[in-house]
Amino acid sequence: MKYLSEYRNKEATLSYLEAIAGKATSTWRIMEVCGGQTHGLVKNGIIDLLPDTVQMIHGPGCPVCVTPTSLIDKAVELLEGGVIVCSFGDMVRVPGSEKSLLEAKSSGGDLRILYSPMEAVTIARENPEKEVVFFAVGFETTAPANALSVLHAEKAGIYNYSLLVSHVLVPPAMEAILDDEHCMVDAFLGAGHVCAIMGTHQYHPIAQRYKVPVVITGFEPLDLAEGIYRAVSQLEEGRYEVENQYARVVREEGNLQAQAVIEQIFETGEREWRGIGSIPGSGYRMKGSYDRFNAEKKFGIQQRKVVTETRCIAGDILKGIKKPSECEHFRRECSPLNPLGAPMVSSEGACAAYYHYKSESNQA
Amino acid sequence: MKNKDHITIAHGSGGVLSRELLDEYVFAAFSNPYIDQKHDGAVVPVDGQLVISTDSFVIDPIFFKGGDIGELSVNGTVNDVAMCGGIPAYLSLSFIIEEGLALADLKKIICSIRKAAERAGVQIVTGDTKVVEKGKGDKIFINTTGVGTLHLKADIRLQRVRPGDRIVINAPVAAHGMAIMSQREGLTFESDIVSDTQNLNKMVEVMLDRFGEEIHLLRDATRGGLAGVLNEVAEDRNIGIHINEEAVPIDSQVAAACELLGIDPLYVANEGVFMAVVSESVAKEVVELLRKEFHQTESGVIGECTESHTGKVVLNSHLGGKRFIYPQIGEQLPRIC
């Protein structure tokens, strides 16, 4: 685990935090895009250690949180129809309009919690009489592995395998947030893992058009402190550039091989974001040539009317307009065991991060 | 499948095969004056107040790095008796076996039980064996009940926990749960992580000999992990508990596996870790004892009980930030990326 302990170094992190306090002369609001960063900030107590002049806004970068209810309903429908549904762990507890995948499993569905879609292909090979669907949720980060699983299945002639796709893309979401009339974001910490795949070049137009600094940042305490420092420096100096704090992982061009795999299987298209709405060009869908691996086509699942959650303020949370602790249901009717909405379920959701880690004195 | 190699329904019928199974596998392994009576129960001598605990073991996989279900079924119950301040002496042993279990596997499990019982200094005095049809169980379930006598110097009660008490733990956290998880179907990462399963009764006995009433509370951090037991104590006693993140020992490979899977080690199950709430005056000596006499080299004081934050467990992060440690909600689910 080289590269982990170094980036948890106490002295180095604290000296950046001190430098931030010295640098910030006016109040700045910085949005960390990725849910992993939200957790890093809250878990390490960094938010408490920032000066009052720097406020963190927790962004939409939790793929589970933005997966629409209608898609969870589709997965539940498949599960109840006898299909083996495979999913990452976070997804299984998110409530659909009637039930979550975990609840559908309790009534007899064959749900498998996996770490890799390749395991789902193996399950398909071992169960030729059954249909196996992988719930392909995620940002650009998980898209290459999901695409690769399809290529692998095709090569091996495993046709009882398909993907239920809910891939979302970061740059269009950032633009949607900046276009919102209530937007309060002065700068972004860009999502390190997403950029490892896609590179940093997509962010230059955003930085220039909206005059907003974007610092691609990692997930460890030192990464986060340095990322915030760099963002504050740009703001104080009136710059708005794309900087790469996470250079040990992220290259300007990204991972070209991974991008090629994505392009082979997926194309961009309109996608619905839970709590935010439909954003043009903000997601991946499977290309027509891969229809036989596309669960929506294969099982003829109809687009349903989306049930909107009346009590969960996920949209305001994901856009950074409200903090979890400002929601009247937080810690009352809404908890990880009984979530009203997705941000309370996923380990990367802002509400769950606040619930698990934020100390009471700092919740206001 | 040859019947002579595997458990069949007939092994649980009470007939000839049942008798053979008991004689060859059970009675042969656990000979002592009590079980040798081959009666329906055991008549055993005791001296003092009785401490009793029972537990069922349903772990999958039944064999894992660092142990198996047999060893676990002895250590788990022995440790529960020890956590009450008891000195465990006798165990009952019940098997519920799924038809089709390899007799060789049963033999291995019984061998582990014998060795674990010897290490813990307890005797298996009575038991039961049932066989269920294929699909009605999962290879083998084991129930053990432990009986012991209360240590004469023990006064282990929640009410004795008070502000200023120190929290001592004996060993690094999260090894058992991660050993199991790394071997479970569907998870293919390779690791050398081994379960920490061990009997704790000898340590507890010497701690009580030496420090008696200065030991206020003992809990083993099994399911729900260290976070689980800390929260139970904080809530039930309505006291604050402050933990220093840096003081909680964890093996670097276990930490890496937790990191990889997105799991918080404080919530991962242990089978050889206990938490002792002790008077401040003896905390360091307790640690020394565990380190020097029981090779618990990672033992340490990880925190203390406070008047502030009643009912809550607060973790001081290594950066100096604070966060609450809440009881686990549902099961821990691996994260997406």
Which pLDDT tens digits describe chain B residue by residue (337 residues)? Answer: 446 799 999 898 888 899 999 999 999 999 999 999 988 899 999 999 999 999 999 998 999 999 999 999 999 999 999 999 999 999 999 999 999 999 999 999 999 999 999 999 999 999 999 999 999 999 999 999 999 999 999 999 999 999 999 999 999 999 999 998 888 755 656 678 899 999 999 999 999 999 999 999 999 999 899 999 999 999 999 999 999 999 999 998 898 888 877 788 999 999 999 999 999 999 999 999 999 999 999 999 999 999 999 999 999 988 888 888 888 766 666 554 4
Residues near B187 by Cβ (< 8 Å), separated by ≥ 6? Answer: A115, B181, B261
Cβ contact A113–B186 (<8 Å) = yes
Cβ contact B323–A357 (<8 Å) = yes
Residues near A307 by Cβ (< 8 Å), separated by ≥ 6? Answer: A69, A70, A97
Residue B96's beta-bridge partner residues?
B130, B141
Rounded Cα gap, residues B297 and B131, in angstroms: 43
**Listed ranges A111-120, A268-277, A305-314, B302-311; the one with the highest mean pLDDT:** B302-311
Q: In the numeric block, which tokens belong to residue A259?
A: 């991008």
Check: CB of residue B214 under 8 Å from CB of residue B282.
yes
Nearest beta carbon to residue B329 from set A45, A63, A336: A336
Residue-level pLDDT at A310: 64
B-chain residues near A360 (CB < 8 A): 312, 324
Q: In the numeric block, which tokens belong to residue B9?
A: 């329904």
Rounded Cα gap, residues A168 and A140, in angstroms: 7
Scanning chain B, the segments in alpha helix (DSSP H) are: 16-21, 69-83, 103-120, 175-183, 201-211, 225-237, 252-261, 283-294
B-chain residues near A193 (CB < 8 A): 337
- Residue A196 DSSP SS3: helix
Interface probe for A, chosen from B191, B323, B332 (most Cβ of A below 10 Å), is B323
Residue of B nearest to A64 (CA): B336
Interface of A with B in 284-343 (CB under 8 A): 335-337
CA distance A335 to chain B (A): 9
A-chain residues near B254 (CB < 8 A): none
Cβ contact B336–A356 (<8 Å) = no
Residue A115 forms contact with B (CB below 8 Å): yes
How confident is residue A7, by pLDDT bands cut at 50, 70 and 90?
confident
Quote the ipTM score.
0.71
Q: What angle do CA A340, A190, A317 make, to 5 degrees?
A: 20
Rg (CA), chain A: 20
Cβ contact B320–A92 (<8 Å) = no
Residue-level pLDDT at A172: 93
Residue B243's beta-bridge partner residues?
B303, B315
How confident is residue A307, by pLDDT bands cut at 50, 70 and 90?
low
The arithmetic mean of pLDDT across residues A149-170, rounded, is 96
B-chain residues near A89 (CB < 8 A): 262, 333-336
Q: In the numeric block, which tokens belong to residue A41?
A: 């900030």
Cβ contact B335–A88 (<8 Å) = yes
Residue A1 has pLDDT above 50, yes or no: no
B-chain residues near A347 (CB < 8 A): 262, 333, 335
Residue-level pLDDT at A321: 82
Cβ contact A346–B334 (<8 Å) = no
Nearest beta carbon to residue A357 from set B187, B320, B324: B324
Between residues B249 and A322, which one has the greater pLDDT?
B249
Check: CB of residue B143 under 8 Å from CB of residue B150.
no
Residue of B nearest to A61 (CA): B337
Cβ contact A64–B336 (<8 Å) = yes
Nearest beta carbon to residue B323 from set A45, A93, A115: A45
> Nearest CA to A239 among A229, A248, A231?
A231
A-chain residues near B335 (CB < 8 A): 88-90, 346-348
Interface probe for B, chosen from A94, A115, A354 (most Cβ of B below 10 Å), is A115
Segment among A98-107, A212-221, A285-294 with least mean pLDDT:
A98-107
Check: CB of residue A186 under 8 Å from CB of residue A29.
yes
Rounded Cα gap, residues A352 and A337, in angstroms: 10
In chain A the domains, ranked by start, together with CATH numbers, are 6-60+170-244 (3.40.50.11750), 65-167+254-298 (3.40.50.11740)
Scanning chain A, the segments in alpha helix (DSSP H) are: 10-23, 35-43, 46-49, 63-66, 69-80, 101-106, 117-126, 143-155, 170-179, 192-198, 204-210, 221-237, 256-265, 295-298, 314-318, 350-357
How confident is residue A131, by pLDDT bands cut at 50, 70 and 90?
very high
How many helices (DSSP H) and strands (DSSP E) are in chain B? 8, 13
In chain B the domains, ranked by start, together with CATH numbers, are 9-150 (3.30.1330.10), 158-325 (3.90.650.10)
State the pTM of this model: 0.82
Between residues A200 and A88, which one has the greater pLDDT?
A200
> Nearest CA to B331 among B255, B227, B224, B230?
B224
Q: What angle do CA A112, A117, A118 make, to 5 degrees?
A: 110
**C-alpha atoms less than 13 angstroms from C-alpha of A176 in its C-beta half-sphere:** 26
> Nearest CA to A294 among A179, A166, A141?
A166
The arithmetic mean of pLDDT across residues A143-167, rounded, is 96
Residue of A nearest to B309 (CA): A360
